[in-house]
Copies of this chain bind each other. A is one copy, B any other.
């Protein structure tokens, strides 16, 4: 595997985990009033688009990466509705 490929896989792995710290923080603090619902709705729709794009290209890296981020986005949308208080 080339250095460029390794960098791509490493960057993709970190992309998968981007939303995890926000999920953990909101789950622990039980407060989400400062978190933008619109951001995670846009992210969820966008990841669904990327999953379709990956499926059309038969590219499993794109499909799986975005499926993980979509999962975290949907969890955050759920947490936002649950803990949207002051």
A18 vs B22: C-alpha distance in the bound complex, in angstroms? 15
Q: Contacts A4-B56, A34-B31 known; A39 to B11 CB distance under 8 Å?
A: no
A35 vs B26: C-alpha distance in the bound complex, in angstroms? 8
Contact between chains at B18 and A39 (CB < 8 Å): yes
In the complex, which residues of chain B have a beta carbon less than 8 angstroms from the beta carbon of A10? 49
Say yes or no for A57: interface residue by CB 8 A criterion.
yes
A39 vs B34: C-alpha distance in the bound complex, in angstroms? 14
In the complex, which residues of chain B have a beta carbon less than 8 angstroms from the beta carbon of A31? 33-34
Q: Which 8 A-B pairs have the closest CB atoms?
A: A34-B34, A21-B38, A22-B36, A11-B49, A21-B36, A25-B36, A21-B39, A14-B46
